[in-house]
Amino acid sequence: MEENEEVEKTPLTDTVVYICIIAGSAGLMYGYDTAVSGGVMMMKPFLKKFFPAILLKMIDNDMKQDQYCRFNSHRLTAFISSMFIAGLVSSLLAGRVTSLIGRKFSLITSGILFLTGNGLEVFAQNLAMLIAGRLFVGFGVGFANQAAPVYITEMAPSKWRGTLNTAFQFFVCCGSVLASIINFGASHSNTNLGWRLALGYASLPATLLIVGAIFIPDTPSSLIQRDKLDEALTTLSRVRSTKAEAEAELKDLVSSTEATKLNTQNPYLKILELRYRPQLILTVAIAGFQQLTGVGMVALYAPVVMRTIGMGTEESLLAAVVIGFVNLVSVLMSTCMVDKIGRRFLFIGGGIQIIFSQVFIACTLAIQSQIVIEGFPKNYGVVVLVLMCLISSAFGWSWGPLTWLVPSEILPIEVRAAGTGISVATNLLITFILAQLSMAMLCYMKFGLFLFYGATTLLMTMVVGVFLPETKGVPLESMESVWNEHWFWKWVLSS
């Protein structure tokens, strides 16, 4: 399909870049929290206070102990996963709240919730207080992960929508790298408060988001939905190069919104209608599949996995830093490619790279287990680290940023907030399940766990290759046409 000529003429202004960076910085909270928690799990003072039984397993040199099962504790994984179940609940609420109060104030709300939870974590005196803090952090993450991609999608010019939307994943990666570095530094601390310091730094991204969001406008689409046409025109005039462009875009947005405002049906019920079936199915599939790449073993449990295969605590934390940097560089690659070669190519290419990497990790561990009975030699750890970097790289330029971009751009405005809420909730639900079960799966499946993730990645890559149409450069108000032209969805919608 040919791109709209006016879209091609729409330049990228400094103002829209600035405000999209502010919105994208919400990803810092998510990235930092997911990475810091996996590193904190390796710190002896933290384990001594909350999980002494795990600490005993770590310092036990009995070679009869199954290395794969050293961190198999549902109480320990609850520390990680509780954040995701709270995020699931809040992301569904955020869809409705975002429609009522706008994208901007949802971002501010997410920062406040995150700060509250972080304070409870840092000053936790028992496991109950620690988990309570994780739940509030999850509430904040749920709001942020729903509101930030939608904000960027609605604010960016169509030609630059993909590039600007990678800002969210870029900041997720920045947060992850920062957390890995702080974890490494905190592990060398001469005090028993290193884990509190590592967790406490998460307040900085939340504060940055709150302060930054105060000074950015709400999106034109959100303002139009709430009958604030003058404010919508003012916002468009700030982010587009000429007033004529702003007025023309406002006219298009008003036209696409007027019909939807006549329908007062609950958007969570409305999205179940046949006309939204393609968007809903792919939104849920992409969000759920993202975590079935096995990225959780890299993003959440990288230090634990590296410790399991024989590396020391410091080496494991340093390995997490390396993996984080690789992911960060790969997201920058996605920024350059997503609006040039399209979404489908990145999805499929990234999936293929992840499949091969997961299979080779499984083969490496399987061969090692047949050769060496007592412990894991370090050279195998280096091989596994390289392969995990390949997974992190592929995820960074494909499934990482595209999972937040594609649902927010394929959903029509009348169900966009609800649909992205469902997308985030699905993603966090799968993340919660896998985060809670990952250590048990590693214990019982051993190297077979990586074959499992290779198989699920193969399935999801095939689904995307067959059913996802290309949306590169398509204006949001014209997105419906891609479904009417797709061989399968055209048949579904006409049946």
Confidence of residue 250 (pLDDT cuts 50, 70, 90): confident
Question: Is 51:75 a contact under the CB 8 Å cutoff?
Answer: yes
Largest CA distance in the chain: 74
The model carries a pTM of 0.79
Q: Pick the range with the lowest mean pLDDT from 74-88, 193-207, 340-354, 377-391.
A: 377-391
Over range 21-38, report the average pLDDT: 90
Q: How far apart are CA 131 and CA 137, in angstroms?
A: 10
Q: Is the pLDDT of residue 374 over 60?
A: no
pLDDT of residue 262: 57
155-187: pLDDT as tens digits: 888 788 888 888 888 898 899 889 989 988 887
Most confident range, picked from 192-196, 377-381, 456-460? 456-460
pLDDT above 90 covers what percent of the chain? 32
Q: Is the pLDDT of residue 487 over 60?
A: yes
pLDDT of residue 59: 67
pLDDT of residue 420: 87
Closest CA to 306 of 296, 320, 295: 320
- Give me the chain's average pLDDT, please: 85
Q: Which amino acid is at 144?
A: A
Query: Radius of gyration (Cα) for the chain, nearest Å?
Result: 23
The CA-based angle 20-140-76, given to 5 degrees, is 125
Q: Is the pLDDT of residue 260 over 70?
A: no
Q: How far apart are CA 58 and CA 61, in angstroms?
A: 8
In angstroms, how far is CA 400 from the centroid of its own chain? 6
Over range 370-398, report the average pLDDT: 78
The CA-based angle 16-18-22, given to 5 degrees, is 115
Q: Which amino acid is at 442?
A: L
Q: Is the pLDDT of residue 7 over 60?
A: no
pLDDT of residue 377: 60
Q: How far apart are CA 230 and CA 450, in angstroms?
A: 54
Q: How far apart are CA 341 and CA 403, in angstroms?
A: 17
Q: How far apart are CA 54 and CA 44, in angstroms?
A: 9
Q: How far apart are CA 202 and CA 33, in angstroms?
A: 7
Q: Pick the range with the lowest mean pLDDT from 57-66, 117-126, 417-426.
A: 57-66
pLDDT of residue 373: 46
Closest CA to 347 of 302, 296, 285: 285
Structure tokens at 98: 């975002």
213-249: pLDDT as tens digits: 999 999 888 888 888 888 988 888 888 877 788 888 8
Question: Is 285:460 a contact under the CB 8 Å cutoff?
Answer: yes
Task: Compare 63 and 32 and report the one with higher pLDDT.
Answer: 32
Q: How far apart are CA 128 and CA 324, in angstroms?
A: 30
pLDDT of residue 2: 41
pLDDT above 70 covers what percent of the chain? 91
Q: Is the pLDDT of residue 25 over 50?
A: yes
Over range 285-292, report the average pLDDT: 90
Residues 6+ apart with CB under 8 A from 288: 426, 427, 429, 430
Q: How far apart are CA 261 and CA 226, in angstroms?
A: 10
Buried b / exposed e across 58-68, counting CB within 10 Å, b at 16+?
Answer: eeeeeeeeebb
416-472: pLDDT as tens digits: 888 888 998 898 899 889 888 888 888 888 889 999 999 999 999 999 999 999 988
Closest CA to 398 of 289, 241, 259, 488: 289
pLDDT of residue 14: 84
